[in-house]
Structure 1
């Protein structure tokens, strides 16, 4: 993914897969202990480094209920 020249996730995957990719990168980035992993690099490149608050909230609620 990081080597692709397309500028947006929508151009690469289309909708709704662009949203799924973003959510997966957030999940994996939060699970990773490495602050310089590929998941955060993908978020930086394709999502402006931002983690979607809705995805984070869903993950937080899920962890609390387990």
Structure 2
């Protein structure tokens, strides 16, 4: 299911190049660590904003050193 979503966004040009299903799952995994007894709604919204901003096409990437 996630791969279909990512494929649709790749075709539309709305997701940064090279994002894999594993990348996406790992990026959102932190949401499950939010304390449900605290201000979970605000924390989840903030994390999702950060994740979605980073996934967008044209988002600045970090340059990785060569091999």
Scaled by the length of structure 1, what TM-score is found? 0.32
Bigger proportion of residues as helix: 1
Larger Rg: 2
Structure with more relative contact order (C-alpha pairs < 8 Å, separation 6 or more): 2
